Amino acid sequence: MVAVAAPGARRRRRNLLESRRFLASVLIAPAVLFIAVLVGGPLLLAVYLSLTDAVGGTLGGPWVGLDNFRAAWDDPNFRRALRNTLLFTIASQAIVLVCAGLIAHALTRPIRGKWILRFLIILPWAAPVPLSTIGWLWIYDSLFSIVNWVARRANLVDDFNPPQWLGDQTLALAAVTSVHAWRIIPFAVVIFLAGLASIPAEVDDAAKVDGATGLRKFWYVTLPLQLPIATVAVLFGIVFTATDMTVVYILTQGGPFNSTQMLTSWAYFVGIRGGSLGEGAAISLFLLPLLVVVAVLMLRFARKVEVT
């Protein structure tokens, strides 16, 4: 009986190890653990700090409940940062979606030197963020701006009163938005190229037979097949944009007069620079429910438009 039971037990263990459900759980467990430690730990700490009167140099303080959230909401600088974050995210993602779609479709055509063009397009995403942003800091410089130099040569601006790209409140927000969109476009282009490459050649052949060419082919064939991929690109772009403060910090540091503050940069200045860790944590947590809602809606939309 023992000799018969041993092979049966080994067979059950082997079947368990080879089962898809068990292997999937084992393979995904390290990633889940890594995310739980790297994201879950700081998130729980931020929630705790937002409910206390913690200051710089400590990781705790008197319990204040929701006072930090109420104080943040009553601050006009916070409301401006929230409005800037929404405007910044929507405008930059609109630019990214249009430009990435056009560039990806252009790169699918048989042109000479296409690999050089792909390299130049991917370069902004591969380059270190501070390095590339400092380059834009020079481009938008108040005295030596290459943009103003070209505009003066084209007689588009006054020689003695050129635009102050980072000194004017409206122009500064537009400049920050354009630089961030320029950084995200390569990532979206890669996603769009992957989506275009996944479209079977038979679909293009069938579209040609049916007489769908040019704009009609794009609207009725390519766009429906690209919607799930575009949704993923927009979702990642929204997350990257809403949680990024590098471009704002290097170009304007929230100025002039806090006109380009985002929730991330304002949380940094209040919590780290100002030493109010509790209020800074509360400001940063205002993004959490917004991003969760956006992620759920975008994923539901992607599932609804998925082509089977």
Residue 4 has pLDDT above 60, yes or no: no
pLDDT score, position 17: 63
pLDDT score, position 2: 45
Work out the average pLDDT over 3-8. 54
Distance CA 229, CA 29 (A): 26
Gyration radius of the chain's alpha carbons: 25
pLDDT score, position 145: 83
Do the beta carbons of residue 163 and residue 148 sit within 8 Å? yes
- Domain 76-305 = CATH 2.60.40.10: no
Residue 1 has pLDDT above 50, yes or no: no
Residue 307 has pLDDT above 60, yes or no: no
pLDDT score, position 269: 93
Amino acid (1-letter code) at residue 215: L
Phi, psi of 52 (to 5 degrees): -125, 170
Question: The tokens of 197 are what?
Answer: 């490459």
The domain segmentation of the chain, as residue ranges, is: 76-305
Residue 208 has pLDDT above 50, yes or no: yes
Residue 34 has pLDDT above 70, yes or no: yes
pLDDT score, position 39: 81
> What value does the mean pLDDT of the chain take?
82
What pTM does this model have? 0.81
- Single out the residue of 193, 183, 163, 158 nearest to residue 241, CA to CA: 183
Do the beta carbons of residue 241 and residue 184 sit within 8 Å? yes
Instruction: Name the band, by pLDDT with cuts 50, 70 and 90, for residue 119.
Output: confident
Distance CA 308, CA 303 (A): 10
Work out the average pLDDT over 120-124. 82
Instruction: Name the band, by pLDDT with cuts 50, 70 and 90, for residue 302.
Output: low
How many other C-beta atoms are found inside a 10 Å radius of the C-beta of residue 292? 10
Q: Which residues contact 165 (CB under 8 A, 6 or more apart)?
A: 140, 142, 145, 147, 148, 171, 172, 175
Residue 216 has pLDDT above 80, yes or no: no
* Start-to-end Cα distance in the chain: 52
Amino acid (1-letter code) at residue 201: A
Residue 303 has pLDDT above 80, yes or no: no
Three-state secondary structure of the chain: CHHHHHHHHHHHHHHHHHCHHHHHHHHHHHHHHHHHHHHHHHHHHHHHHHCECCCCCCCCCCECCCHHHHHHHHCHHHHHHHHHHHHHHHHHHHHHHHHHHHHHHHHCCCCCCHHHHHHHHHHHHHCCHHHHHHHHHHHCCCCCCHHHHHHHHCCCCCCCCCCCCCCCHHHHHHHHHHHHHHHHHHHHHHHHHHHHHCCCHHHHHHHHHCCCCHHHHHHHHHHHHHHHHHHHHHHHHHHHHHCCCHHHHHHCCCCCCCCCCCHHHHHHHHHHHCCCHHHHHHHHHCHHHHHHHHHHHHHHHHHHHCCC
User: pLDDT for 224-245, tens place per residue?
Assistant: 777 777 787 888 888 888 888 8
